[in-house]
Amino acid sequence: MPEAELWIRLNRHLGADYAPLWAQTFVIADLGQLTVREALDAGLKCKVIWRAVWAALELPPSEL
């Protein structure tokens, strides 16, 4: 998954105004206690990040 797709999904579920803030401040246990921004900076694959976001937001299986 390209990073652009990750941001499209985050914006769709959190809103374009809130998604960047959430990605910078919300710590996700499945990412080793990193935020989305920290995970991206650490080089984690966007697909791995999205799966962790999906679980954290308790999104339906259709969004995986």
Per-residue pLDDT of the chain (64 residues; tens, 9 = 90+): 999 999 999 999 999 999 999 999 999 999 999 999 999 999 999 999 999 999 999 999 999 9
Whole-prediction pTM value?
0.93
Q: What's residue 1's pLDDT? A: 93
Phi, psi (degrees; rounded to nearest 5) at 18: -90, -30
Question: Which residues are within 8 A (CB) of 15 and not within 5 positions of it... i.e. 6 or more apart?
Answer: none
| Domains: count for the chain | 1
Residue 21: domain span: 3-63
